[in-house]
Structure 1
Amino acid sequence: MFKKRILNSAIVIFFILLISTTSFAKNIIVDVNNLDKGIIRINYSKNTDNMKVLITKDDNQENYDLKLGVNYPLVFGNGEYTISILEHIKGNQYRQVEKETVKLELEDEKDLYLQSTQIVNWNESMLAIKNAKELTKDIKDDEEKIKIIYNYITNNIKYDNEKAYIVQADYIPSIDDTFKFQSGICYDYAVLTAAMLRSLDIPTKLLMGYKSDIEKYHAWNEAYINGKWIIIDTTYDSAYVQNEVPIAMIKDSNEYKVEKTY
């Protein structure tokens, strides 16, 4: 749970303002080398400070801070996407300076949820990822692996109430910090859960929105197992687990309202 919505919020309504009409050759700005995994990178030689990447498909859109060397996920399914580079003008106003299109044709859309992205930014050298491999080194069954990672996080990560009120709108969790300090808000829990499970080749989504009995904006996960997506909420369950109160790991989808998927 956290006080402010993360990533795109009020700034989205200003993205249409001050748009340039310049067009550029296809796939100069957008690196499509890993498009078959559902992710892109941005090649941009100019100063990237305070710039945005806007990803749109049909009526769907998502924006991210522009960073070089990170993966941006195409989360709206197969089809044609427009990738725009936005330059800050003032306040919440941006103008488009570059635009390219890409066509996503994944054979298996679950592959996207195994990748490292700007938000779920993991690699094999991280202590959290090494820990996930160690905890499950003798386990072959994916369902058992999920239970092991779930048990580790709900038993060990403490909820940081103070952080929930001071976190900034552009906050992105550090997997290393969450694992090192063993604390965080729901966003931290969900990113850590996604990273650890993805590193074990278990497709895992990071979801944001609302839970029926929580007023604040919330983050949780879905993991793919036995031919279906199951909901896991390590933040919510940690309070029960750490107080030795029984609670089911798999949640009811009717209790959740999804606004964003990463």
Structure 2
Amino acid sequence: MLNNDSSGKKVWAARPYRTFVKKTVLAPSALFLLLFLNACGSAFSGNARAIREGKTVITSTGETERDNTPVVLIPSLEGDDILGNEKISINISNASEGYIAVSYLGDSDRAKLQLTGNGQVTYTYDLFTGEDEVIPLTAGSGTYVSTVYENIDANQYATIFATEFTVDITNTYGPFLYPNMYVNFSPDSEVVALAAILAKGSTSDLEVVSRIYQYVIDNISYDHEKAETVESGYIPDVDEILSLRKGICFDYAAMMSAMLRSQRIPSRLEIGYAGDAYHAWISIYTPDTGWLEGMIVFDGTTWSLVDPTFAANTDNADDLASFIGSGDNYFTKYVY
């Protein structure tokens, strides 16, 4: 979210952990039925210690080292190209970077933004009074239709604002590098520091991906209890997930996306279906490979489609490879 600094300028700060009330009619409810984790934790030093103890093996090819300095792009509220009314502010001044900033100014406990890019998928976001949310424009350049709703009674909502705007995204990978509502991190996030440790000595983006991927599947376990009792409206706190060392698919994908983005590697947090299961995974981009769909694992010759949750919870490589196949088992519905 965006907070005021000492000069009064709004700057990005990672959101404190919180849970939300259960969604009702307007959100794509299936999306959020798997997204709850009650986080608690241990010290970050334990994660660095796991690296030193060798649970995640780090190797180098002997080529020129890649710069592992973290780069966290900071969303801005600067500019005066703002749409809205007395209840909603939609700042599109920085849309060319691949995001908008939305602030709900009303007093309802439940307000929602629906956003459709280029006539494609409609995304629904919860809005809360006094909080500025960064929303990625994942449909790319084109026309976006935005509608804001406010809860008026039980499961009934009223439209409080509707508009459309045209976007020319000049930072092609901006939507997949900036922090946003679901991939929520800042320069001070512990996952950013950990990603820099893991990336040190790497000679390519692919090696960074491999190291971060291996760390996550070795050190983060699946939380079956939380998966069975999940409530809608959860937004991952990536540092809490790191401390707790367990989570559900959304947590795996959000944590890894934050780490990769801080290392200048565009990553898409994707939500959809893996077989019959509603699930979350990531895709990554490197200049050498283009977009690699799903998550990947390197066998010494080729990169294969995989996702971190599944890889962390199976010891049978044949079962994993059989399920992954050509990627047909994965159907993407939402991208963040």
Query: TM > 0.5 between the two?
Result: yes
CA distance in 1, matches of 2:334, 2:211: 26
User: 1:8, 1:64 within 8 Å by CA — same for their partners in 2?
Assistant: no
Query: Which ranges of structure 1 fall in alignment gaps of 5 or more residues?
Result: 1-6, 14-24
How much is the aligned-residue C-alpha RMSD, in angstroms? 2.4
How do 1:1-80 residues align onto structure 2 when only pairs under 5 Å count? 10-12=25-27, 27-28=83-84, 29-47=89-107, 49-57=109-117, 58-67=119-128, 68-80=131-143
Amino acid at match of 2:142: G
Distance, in Å, in 1 between the alignment partners of 2:82 and 2:132 is: 20
Task: Kindly provide the amino acid, as one letter, of the partner of residue 35 in structure 1.
Answer: A
Following superposition, the deviation at residue 210 of structure 1 comes to 1.4
Say if 2:146 and 2:162, in contact at 8 Å, map to a contact too.
yes
1-side partners of 2:82 and 2:206: how far apart? 42
CA distance, structure 2, for counterparts of residue 8 and residue 35 of structure 1:
28
Residue deviations 1:214-261, cap 9 Å, x none? Answer: x32111110012242212110000123xx485867x973222111111
| Residue 260 in structure 1 maps to residue 275 in structure 2 | no
More deviation, 130-139/195-204? 130-139
Alignment pair present for 1:219 and 2:280: yes
- 1:34–1:227 CA distance, 2 compared to 1 (3 A): farther
Task: Give the structure 2 partner of residue 237 of structure 1.
Answer: 311
Matched, 1:181 2:244: yes
TM-aligned CA deviation for residue 36 of structure 1 = 1.6
Q: Distance in 1 between matches of 2:146 and 2:249?
A: 29
Residue by residue over 1:26-82, the C-alpha shift from the partner in whole angstroms, topping out at 9 and shown as x without a partner, is 624211232122111123433253111111232431110114222011222211112
Whose helix proportion is higher, 1 or 2?
A: 1
Percent identity between matched residues is: 30
Task: Measure the CA separation in 1 of the matches of 2:103 and 2:225.
Answer: 38
Residue 186 of structure 1 deviates from its aligned partner by 0.6
Q: Which stretch of the first structure deviates more once superposed, 125-134 or 151-160?
A: 125-134
Contact residue 111 and residue 151 of structure 2 kept, 8 A: yes
2: CA distance, partners of 1:251 / 1:206: 20
- The normalised TM-score by structure 2 is 0.66
Paired residues of 1:41 and 1:72 also in contact (CA < 8 A)? yes
Structure 2: runs of 5+ lacking an equivalent: 1-21, 29-80, 296-306
Normalization by structure 1: what TM-score?
A: 0.83
Check whether the contact 2:121–2:334 (CA below 8 A) recurs between aligned residues. Answer: no
Which residues in structure 2 correspond to 1:123-142 (within 5 Å)?
123-142=186-205
**Between Structure 1 and Structure 2, how many residues are aligned?**
240
Query: After the TM superposition, which of the residue ranges 27-36 and 191-200 deviates more from structure 2?
Result: 27-36
Shifted more, 149-158 versus 102-111: the winner is: 102-111
For the 8 Å contact 2:182–2:235, the answer to whether it is kept is yes
Give the distance between the partners of 1:90 and 1:45, measured in 2 at CA. Answer: 19
Following the alignment from structure 2 to structure 1, what is the Cα–Cα distance between the partners of residues 136 and 160? 21
Q: Is the 8 A contact 1:8 1:63 kept in 2?
A: no
- In the alignment, is residue 121 of structure 1 matched against residue 136 of structure 2? no
Matches of 1:245 and 1:216 in 2, distance apart? 20
Q: Secondary structure of the residue that 2:309 maps to in structure 1?
A: helix
Cα distance change on mapping 1:153 and 1:59 into 2, 3 Å: closer
**Residue 149 of structure 1 corresponds to which residue in structure 2?**
212
Contact 1:8/1:62 (8 A) holds in 2: no
Partner of 1:97: 160
| 1:84 Cα deviation after fit | 2.1
